[in-house]
Structure 1
Amino acid sequence: MDNDVLIKCSCYALLDEVSLSERHPPPAVGVLGAARYVVAKYLERRGKVMDRDSAIRRFEIFLASAVELEPTPDELELASRIEEAAVRAGVELDSGESQLCAIAVLRGPMILLTGDKRAIAGAEKVQGTVNELSALQGKIVCLEQAIAGVSERIGVEEVRARICAEPNADKALSICFQCSSTSPRTDSFTEGLLSYVQDLRIKASTLLYAENQL
C-alpha cells in the first residue's frame, strides 16, 4: 500500500475496510518503512484535512498492525533501474513507487495498491525495458478499484459519508460521490469509479488488476 492510499484512507476512516478485501483476505498489509514519517508529517501539516487529529490517530493504529517494508540491496537496485527507465521514457514513477514495485516483484506474490495512476501507467510503459515488471501483470490495484470493492461490502452511502467528510482529500473521489450535491444519485457513484478504472485500463492494460473492484 503506497503513501497516497495511506493518507487518503486515514482521512476517510477506510484503512481497515480497504485492507480487508474478500477476494484477497490478509495475512498482512505492507507499507514502506518511510511511511511512518512521510504520512504522519503530511497529515499533521499539509493538505486540506478537516480532522487532522482523527486521521493521525487512525494511521497510527493501522501502522501498529502493518508490516514495515525495508528494501534489500537487490530491491534497491531493481528500483533504481525502474526509475532510470521511467526518466528515459518521460513518465512519472517516483522512488517510493519504484521501491514498492521492486519489493512486489522480488518478494511476491503481492498485490500493489497505489493511489498514483500516473505511476501505474508509467510502470506499464517501462516494463518492456525492465522485464521484471511483467511479474506484476494483473497485480497493481488503483484506489478507485479498492473504493469500489469497499462500496460493495459496506454500502455506497456509508462510503460517501466518509469521503464527503473529507472532500478535499481526493478530488476524483469527491466528484464520483457527488460531495457537492444536496441530492446525489446513489446509483451513479460506482459508475463514476468505474469510468476512472476503465480509462486507466487503456493506459495499463496488462499491469492493472483484472477486476473493476478489489
Structure 2
Amino acid sequence: MALLVDNDALLKLARYDLLDKVLEQFSFDYGDVRVLAAAKYVLLPARDRLRHCKDEACADRLERFLSLVGKLDATTADRGIVDALAAVPNIDPGEALMLAAGATDPDCYIITGDKRALAAVGESELLFAVRVALRGRILSLELLFSFLIEGDFANVQNRIRLQPSVDKTLANIFGVSTPSSLQSVRDGLDSYIAHLRAQTGVLLHPPPASS
C-alpha cells in the first residue's frame, strides 16, 4: 500500500512534529509515502527556508522527511481523471494529480488538508466515478487526528497546544487557554468530520473504533 500526503498536511504535521507518528499509527514506512514532486520547493523555498516552517527545527524535520519519501509520478495517474478533476473549481493542479493517483491505484490512501477540494469532489456530478474509485480512502486532518489521539492523547494534545497558530480549528478543539478533555476533543473532531462527510459522501475513511 502507499500513502499520499499533500503539501498542506505535510507542513502542519511537520510543525507539530507528528510526521513519524502518522507513519507509526498506520504502519507505513518512508518508502510507502509519496508527495508532490514540487513539495520541497514549495514548502522549503531556497530564498526563505523558514517562510512556512517558521523555525529551523521544523524545517530540518520536513527536509529529512522529504529526503526519505518518494515523489508522486504523474505517469501513474490516469490522465483523463487528472483532467476531469482539474476542470472542477476549487481543485488545484497538485490536488488533482494526487486525487487522480489515488483513484487510479486502489491500494493507496490520501492525507489532505484541502477540504475545499474534497467538497468539490463530493459535490460535482461530473466526478461520480472518481468518488466511487476513492471510496473510504481519504483522511482529512480532523479525521487523521481522531486516529492519532487514541492511545497517545496527551502527547498529541501537547503538540497541538504548543503550536496554536498552525491550525486554529485544531487549536480550539484541543484547548487554547486550558486543555480539553479526551471526550471533548473527540466530540469536537467528530463534529467537523460529520460536516465534511455530508459534503463528500463516500470519500472519507471510516472513523476509528472509539468514534
Question: Where does residue 207 of structure 1 map in the other structure?
Answer: 203
**Secondary structure at the residue paired with 1:207?**
coil
Shift of 1:76: 4.4
Residue 75 of structure 1 contacts residue 106 of structure 1 at CA under 8 Å; is this kept in 2? yes
Q: 1:165 aligns with which of 162, 167, 175?
A: 162
Is 1:70 aligned to 2:77, yes or no? no
Tell me how far apart the structure 1 counterparts of residues 171 and 200 of structure 2 sit (CA, whole Å): 24
Instruction: Give aligned-pair identity as a percent.
Output: 30
Tell me how far apart the structure 2 counterparts of residues 203 and 197 of structure 1 sit (CA, whole Å): 10
Q: What are the superposed Cα offsets for residues 15-69 of structure 1, whole Å, 9 maximum, x if unpaired?
A: 01122234x54461111111111122386214xx6x5111111111211221111
Shift of 1:80: 2.0
Residue 22 of structure 2 contacts residue 148 of structure 2 at CA under 8 Å; is this kept in 1? yes
Query: Normalization by structure 2: what TM-score?
Result: 0.86
Is 1:7 aligned to 2:11, yes or no? yes
Q: What are the superposed Cα offsets for residues 76-111 of structure 1, whole Å, 9 maximum, x if unpaired?
A: 442122121x13xxxx11111111011112233111
Shift of 1:159: 0.9
Gaps of 5+ in 2: none
The one-letter code of the counterpart of 1:34 is: A
Judging changes above 3 Å, is the alpha-carbon distance between structure 1 residues 195 and 129 closer, same or farther for their aligned structure 2 residues? closer
Is 1:81 aligned to 2:101, yes or no? no
Q: 2:193 aligns with which of 197, 203, 206?
A: 197
**Secondary structure at the residue paired with 2:178?**
coil
Tell me how far apart the structure 2 counterparts of residues 152 and 99 of structure 1 sit (CA, whole Å): 31
Tell me how far apart the structure 2 counterparts of residues 43 and 2 of structure 1 sit (CA, whole Å): 19
Tell me how far apart the structure 2 counterparts of residues 21 and 183 of structure 1 sit (CA, whole Å): 23
Judging changes above 3 Å, is the alpha-carbon distance between structure 1 residues 44 and 76 closer, same or farther for their aligned structure 2 residues? farther
Query: Normalization by structure 1: what TM-score?
Result: 0.85
Question: Where does residue 59 of structure 2 map in the other structure?
Answer: 56
The one-letter code of the counterpart of 2:158 is: A
How many residues align? The count is 203
Tell me how far apart the structure 2 counterparts of residues 159 and 124 of structure 1 sit (CA, whole Å): 29
